[in-house]
Structure 1
C-alpha cells in the first residue's frame, strides 16, 4: 500500500520527470514529502509564474513535458500565465495544483476556486484527481496529450484528502509516442507540382519546423533536418517566423532570417512577392498571415500535424496533414533537384550585411548594435532566450541563428517575465551556454528567480537592456499618436541588485567594454548580469 500522493510521484518518475518547479503549500504536504523520497528534484521557486515558465522552457528544449506545481487559490491563479504561454507556444507542460478536501468544495470556503474550469481554456486537457483509482490513468493521459503533436499544456488538480488516502494502484507503462501517419501521396504530388511550377516559391518555417519530437532527443529537430534537405535540393529561399528561427542555418544563402528582417523589410517584401508559399509547421497564433498575404493572391501549401485554421488570408491550396518530417521527406523525393529557385539571394546578402554590421565607437548603446557582439561571443549551439519587449523584436529580426531551438522566443502568448526563469530551465536542460535577454520591465517581473538559480548552482548570463520604459508600448504609441503615456519607469541599481544575490554585475560604458564583458561572462560557469543602458 502507498498513499495516493506517493502513487502520483511514482507516476511522474515513470514518465521520466527530472524536475518539478513550484511553491509549497499546506494542501501539497503529502506530495512534497513523496517528492523528497523520490529521484525527482523539487525546485522551490520564488513565484508560481516563474515555476510555470521554467516548465514551459524545459518542455520546449527537451520535448518532454516540464512539470510545475502550486497550491490552490492564489497559487493556481499565479501559475496560469506560464501555463497559457506553454499552451499558445506549443510547449509540452503538465501543471499540478493542490486543492482543499472534497468535503468543502461544494460550498464557499477558504481559497477555494473552481480551478479546473479556470484552466479549461488554456490547456489541451485537465481534470481533478478525485479518486485514487484515477491517478495513474490521468497522469499518463496528461503526459501523452501534452507531448503529442501539437504539444501543449495539461493540468491535474489534486485534493488534499485524496492525496492522503492509501491505494494499491500502480503507474501505467509509458509507451512510445503516437506517430501520425505518413502523408497522402496525392497531396504530396499536388504540392510538388505547385512548388515546381512556381516562379517565385518560398518556404515559411514556423514553430513546428524546429520542435523536437522523440523522447530524450534533446534540442535536435527531425523536422529541421528534413527541411534542410529539401531546401538544399531545391535551392529555395526560406523565411522563418520568430519561433521558427534556426530551422535552417542563417549562414545558408537561402535564408532570409525572419518575416520582418532587413533594414527596409526585405524579407517581408520577398514573401509578399512569392507566388507559392510552402508553410511548414506555421502557427497563426504566432504571426498573422494577413501581414504576408494581404491580397489573397499567394498559393499556399500547408504542411503540419493538424489541418489549417480557417482564415481568409490563410486558405491553402493543398494541405498535407501528417507527420512533418515524413511529409518533408516525401516532398524532397517528389521534387526535382537543382531547379534553380534561389530567386532572392541578393536579399539574403543585404539582410546579413545589415544584421552583422558592428557599431561605430561613438554610436549610442542599442539592442540592434549589441546583437553582432553577442552573436560573436556565443557558439552556434549556445542558447539565447528572449523576454518580450522591443528587444525581442530586434532579436527575432536581427540575431542570426544556426541551429534549431537555440533562440527561444515567446510569441504565441508573448508574455513578459519569461527570460530569467526560462534561462534557469535552459541551463538545467542543456550543456551549452545560456543567455537570457530581457528588458527592464520584464526583468523585474521575475528577477527574484536569480535566487533560485543561484541556490541551484547554475551559471548563465542575464543581458538586461535598460531604457527605464515599457519601450515597445512607447514605440507603438509614438507610431499611432506621435506621443506616449503611462510607460515610463524608475529602476533600481541593477548591478547592485545582482550583487545582492552574490552574482556578478556589469555595466559597461563603451562598446569595447561590452565586448570584453560578454566574451568573459558568456562562456563562464558563473552567473552574471550585464546591464546595457539604452539611450
Structure 2
C-alpha cells in the first residue's frame, strides 16, 4: 500500500521506538504534523524551537534514548542551531527533523528557505537533505544508527514539502550498513594488556572520568576498576554521577572551578587513567602543567580526541564499557595506602566551603539544603553560569544521568527546557532546576510548556540581579570595570511562576528558605522559589587563565 513520505517518516519513528517528539509546527513541516494525527507518538508543543531541541536533549540525557525534535523551515530550523551545537559538543544522541521548501524552490530564496544542512554541517554528526522520497526510510534508519552509536551526537534530516507529500511503497529496513562509518568499540588487546601492566605498577594512579563513561553505561565497571587498583577518581562536569560522589575514593570535580584536592591529585599522580574525556581547556588549564609527572592512558570511542590536546602515552580507542570489562579480567587487587591517605588528607583540607556574610543568603547553602531535603534522590538540571558551578561543587551526585547541564557549549537558556525533557523522560523522579536570573530569562517562556504538560518541576532561581559569572570575570580580568552585567530591572519570578500555575515563593534568608524547601518537596505540583542571594559571591576555587590547575585562587 502506498503512503506519503510524511506518513512513512512517522512510521519509521514508531519502528525506532520513539515515544515523543518535541516540536513546533509550520508550513513546510505541515505534512508530517498531519501524519502525526494517526500516530501513538506524543508531541510536546514547546513555545520556541530552541525549547524543543533542549527538551529533547534533557530527555536523551536522563533516559539514554535518542531524543527527537522537529521544526519547520527557515527560522524554525535556524532556531535549532544552538541546541544542535550543544548536543554535538556534549555527545547527546538526537535526531532533528526540519521542513524545507519544495525542491523546485530550493535555491530561489523562497519564503522561509535556508540551507539548514549547510548551516549545521559543522555541528552535527551527519545531516541529510531528502531529495528522493523512496530513500526516506533508509535515511531515518541511518540517522538513528549514527546518532546512537560511536561517539553519540545529533543528526539532522531536512525534508522538502513536495517530497513529504510524494507517495511511496513503504518498507522499513531491518539493518543498516554504512561503509564509511564503522566505530571501533573494542580496544586493542595488546594496548589493554599494556594498560593493565601500567595500572599494576603505578604507585599514584588517578582515574579521570568524563561523560563518555555515562554515555557508555560503564559506571559499574568504573567502580570495579577504582576499587581493584585503589585509585582516586576525579570527574569532569559532564562525568558527574558516573562514580558515586559519596564513595571514599571519589575526590571531586577537577578543572578551573574544580576541587583543589582533585586538581592536586592530577598534578601529583604518576598514572592518569582517562576514560571518556577529551582534555578540554576548562579541565586542563595550562597544558604544560597538567599531570606533568604522569603517563597518560586515554580510553575514548572517538579516535579524533586521542592526543588532540594532551599527549597520550597509551591510547585505547573503544567503548568505555567494553574496554573496562576487558581490563578487569587482567587486573589483580592492589593497594596504594600512602597515596590514598595523601589524597584523603587533601580532600579533607580542601573540602568545598564558602564564607558567610551577615544579611545575605549564600547560594552554596541553598544547594546543600536541596541535597539534604532530597537525600540526593533527584535529577538536577542547571543553566550555565555561577549557579551551575555551585550545583556541581555542592551537590553530591551518586548515579549516572542525575545531572543535566550544558558543558562544552555553555548555553544559557538550556536549563528549563532540559528540565522539562528530563521530567517527561523520568516522570516518577523529582526534577530540580537550579538556574540563575540571567539564564532563566532566556527561555522562561517554556514555563507554559511545563504547565501545559502538568509537570511538577521544582525550580530554584539563584537571583543576584546580574550576570554573575561575567561580573566575576570582569572582577579578575578587567580590574573591576563592570560593564553590562547588572540588571536594573528583574521581574518577580515568584509572581511570574504563579501566573503559570506554579506555587511561587520568594526567599531572602535561611529561615524562609527552609519553609520554601518544605513546601517544594512535600507539596505535589510545580514550585518556583526565587532566592535572593549574595550579589557579589564568587565561584571558588578559580584557576586564572594561563595558570596550572594546581595554582587556584580560593577564599582568603
* TM interval, short-chain normalised: over 0.9
Residue 157 of structure 1 and its aligned partner are, at CA, apart by 0.5
Q: Which runs of 5+ in 1 are unaligned?
A: 214-220
Structure 1 match to 2:425: 429
Q: For the residues of structure 1 that align with 2:86 and 2:14, how far apart are their CA atoms?
A: 25
Q: Is the contact made by 1:27 and 1:72 (CA closer than 8 Å) also made in structure 2? A: yes
Tell me whether 1:503 sits opposite 2:498 in the alignment.
no
Deviations 1:295-353 (A, max 9, x none): 65421001121225365751111111122112112222222203225724554466468
Tell me whether 1:323 sits opposite 2:322 in the alignment.
no
Q: Is the contact made by 1:255 and 1:348 (CA closer than 8 Å) also made in structure 2? A: no
Q: 1:301 aligns with which of 287, 297, 300?
A: 297
Q: Is the contact made by 2:209 and 2:242 (CA closer than 8 Å) also made in structure 1? A: yes
Q: Is the contact made by 1:59 and 1:91 (CA closer than 8 Å) also made in structure 2? A: yes
Q: 2:277 aligns with which of 272, 279, 282?
A: 282
Q: For the residues of structure 2 that align with 1:358 and 1:515, how far apart are their CA atoms?
A: 19
Structure 1 match to 2:136: 135
SS at match of 1:26: coil
Q: For the residues of structure 1 that align with 2:288 and 2:45, how far apart are their CA atoms?
A: 46
Deviations 1:94-150 (A, max 9, x none): 111111111111322222111110010110010111121110010011110001121
Residue 32 of structure 1 and its aligned partner are, at CA, apart by 0.6
Q: 2:368 aligns with which of 367, 372, 384?
A: 372
Q: 2:443 aligns with which of 441, 446, 454?
A: 446
Structure 1 match to 2:187: 183
SS at match of 2:109: coil
Q: Is the contact made by 1:24 and 1:70 (CA closer than 8 Å) also made in structure 2? A: yes
Q: For the residues of structure 1 that align with 2:363 and 2:203, how far apart are their CA atoms?
A: 37
Structure 2 match to 1:485: 483
Residue 185 of structure 1 and its aligned partner are, at CA, apart by 2.1
Change (3 A) 1:342 1:523: farther
Tell me whether 1:70 sits opposite 2:64 in the alignment.
no
Q: Is the contact made by 1:61 and 1:426 (CA closer than 8 Å) also made in structure 2? A: yes
Deviations 1:204-227 (A, max 9, x none): 01011112x5xxxxxxx3x11100
Q: Is the contact made by 1:390 and 1:472 (CA closer than 8 Å) also made in structure 2? A: yes
Larger mean Cα displacement after TM superposition, 447-456 or 169-178: 169-178
Tell me whether 1:468 sits opposite 2:469 in the alignment.
no
Q: How many residues align?
A: 526
Structure 2 match to 1:393: 389
SS at match of 1:105: coil
Q: For the residues of structure 2 that align with 1:132 and 1:153, how far apart are their CA atoms?
A: 22
Structure 1 match to 2:250: 255
Change (3 A) 1:285 1:70: farther
Residue 409 of structure 1 and its aligned partner are, at CA, apart by 2.3
Larger mean Cα displacement after TM superposition, 489-498 or 258-267: 258-267
Residue 358 of structure 1 and its aligned partner are, at CA, apart by 9.3
Change (3 A) 1:279 1:462: same
SS at match of 2:108: coil
Name the TM-score, length of structure 2 as normaliser: 0.89
SS at match of 1:403: coil
Larger mean Cα displacement after TM superposition, 259-268 or 296-305: 259-268
Q: Is the contact made by 2:258 and 2:393 (CA closer than 8 Å) also made in structure 1? A: no
Query: CA RMSD, aligned part only?
Result: 2.4
Q: For the residues of structure 1 that align with 2:115 and 2:304, how far apart are their CA atoms?
A: 33
Change (3 A) 1:293 1:327: farther
| Matching of residues 86-101 of structure 1 within 5 Å | 86-101=87-102
Q: For the residues of structure 1 that align with 2:483 and 2:375, how far apart are their CA atoms?
A: 40
SS at match of 1:462: strand
Deviations 1:386-412 (A, max 9, x none): 110111112222321111111222111
Change (3 A) 1:131 1:341: farther
Structure 2 match to 1:158: 159
Q: For the residues of structure 1 that align with 2:343 and 2:522, how far apart are their CA atoms?
A: 33
Q: Is the contact made by 2:255 and 2:285 (CA closer than 8 Å) also made in structure 1? A: no
Q: For the residues of structure 2 that align with 1:311 and 1:125, how far apart are their CA atoms?
A: 24
SS at match of 1:402: coil
Structure 1 match to 2:398: 402
| Matching of residues 112-127 of structure 1 within 5 Å | 112-127=113-128
Change (3 A) 1:360 1:121: closer
Residue 264 of structure 1 and its aligned partner are, at CA, apart by 7.2
Q: Is the contact made by 1:49 and 1:81 (CA closer than 8 Å) also made in structure 2? A: yes
Structure 1 match to 2:548: none
SS at match of 2:95: strand
| Matching of residues 1-20 of structure 1 within 5 Å | 1-20=2-21
Q: Which runs of 5+ in 2 are unaligned?
A: 535-556
| Matching of residues 195-210 of structure 1 within 5 Å | 195-210=199-214
Structure 2 match to 1:336: 332
